Amino acid sequence: MKFVVDRDLFARALARIQGVLSRKSTLAMLSNVLIEARPDGRLRVAATDLDVTFDGMTAAEIIEPGRATVDGKRLYDVVRSLPGEQVDVSVGPDDKMLLRCKHSEFMLHGTPADQYPALPATEGVELSPISGSALRELIERTGFSVSTDESRPNLNGVFFRCVGKNRVRMVSTDGHRLSQGERDAGRGGDIAERDGVIIPRKGVGELKRLLEEVGDDVAFGITDNMLVVGATDLVLFVRLIEAAFPDYRQVIPKSSERRAVVRRLPFLAALRRIGILASERTHGVRIAVRPGSMTLLSDNPDLGKAREELEIEGFEGSELTIAFNARYV
């Protein structure tokens, strides 16, 4: 295999797959990246941990087609440090990868490409256009409350559902807090109603990174056990969590006799200040709401007390005092 590639393009392609590389797996191959010089003049850069797969293409001058696999992090570190604009890459029968750039030369030990795990493909997957910005916003609204408790796998991801009429919904919970978001996400076509699936935490993170790079122009599909999200020359495959997500609709109150309107940024700033003296264990802050004002209080026998009042712009119902973990709010 032999090709010449722009250093920045190559480094960008390798940067995309860094989050997918597995450094803790007993399968050493999962810390490798698959490089394929294709006869059509494109360079394939792909990686998988068997649950999340990133498969991308970049432009290159292909001199001799072929496939190779080497340590993904080391290759990325080498490529981004090279001094020139063009990188000459060659791989011989011994699977050693040689990189030349100006006066620099590196050799990386590789592994036969036929030992790399088989990667999923988009053949047979029906992809529908969807708004990447809408998906990214939903991830930002729900990704923070995904559980890290591995004993509850059904909470270790974001519940994703197409609710019809081009709307999609995401929900997550860690057992202490629940986040839900719903957005119009159609982009030039209908998004059919689908049953909900659970996207694992790592897959959600990689999906967010993909969306930050490609913007709105994406398409998605769901198979029996896989979420597929594609953009121009980039495809992300995420193995879904096969478990039942809790019935979150039973948790969300259908109505409330109390309603208060408070400015978000002053409220968050006050929570941070009052939380300084809150318990290290519970981070508890009491909030008392009444017409015209909201009072935030913390009382820590070991440290002291804190109190702050905020004006509220609207209030309905009877007065209320309630306590929250300030970090969850």
Question: Mind listing the pLDDT tens digit for each residue in 291-310?
Answer: 999 999 999 999 999 999 99
Average pLDDT over every residue of 34-44: 97
The three-state secondary structure class of 164 is: strand
Q: Where residue 313 falls among pLDDT bands split at 50, 70, 90? A: confident
Supply 282's token pair: 């519970």
Task: Kindly give, in sequence order, each residue whose CB lies less than 8 Å from that of residue 112, ignoring residues fewer than 6 positions away.
Answer: 69, 95
Residue that is last in its domain, among 250, 276, 298: 250
Q: Where residue 322 falls among pLDDT bands split at 50, 70, 90? A: very high
Radius of gyration from C-alpha coordinates of the chain: 25
> What per-residue confidence (pLDDT) applies to 257?
86
Q: Per residue in 249-273, pLDDT tens?
A: 998 888 888 889 999 999 999 999 9
DSSP letter at 95?
-
Mean pLDDT of the chain: 93
Residue that is last in its domain, among 115, 140, 162: 115
- Are 135 and 177 within one domain? yes
- Are 133 and 216 within one domain? yes
Average pLDDT over every residue of 49-72: 97
Instruction: Report the alpha-carbon distance of residue 17 to residue 56 in Å, rounded.
Output: 9
Q: What percentage of the chain carries pLDDT values higher than 70?
A: 98
> What per-residue confidence (pLDDT) applies to 189?
56
Residue 103: CATH number of its domain: 3.10.150.10
Supply 212's token pair: 């930050």
- Are 45 and 104 within one domain? yes
- Are 106 and 133 within one domain? no
- Are 51 and 132 within one domain? no
pLDDT at position 278 over 70: yes
> What per-residue confidence (pLDDT) applies to 187?
67
**Domain range enclosing 11:** 2-115
- Are 16 and 59 within one domain? yes
> Which is higher by pLDDT, 139 or 317?
139
DSSP letter at 247?
-
Q: Per residue in 109-125, pLDDT tens?
A: 999 999 999 999 999 88
Supply 34's token pair: 């698959």
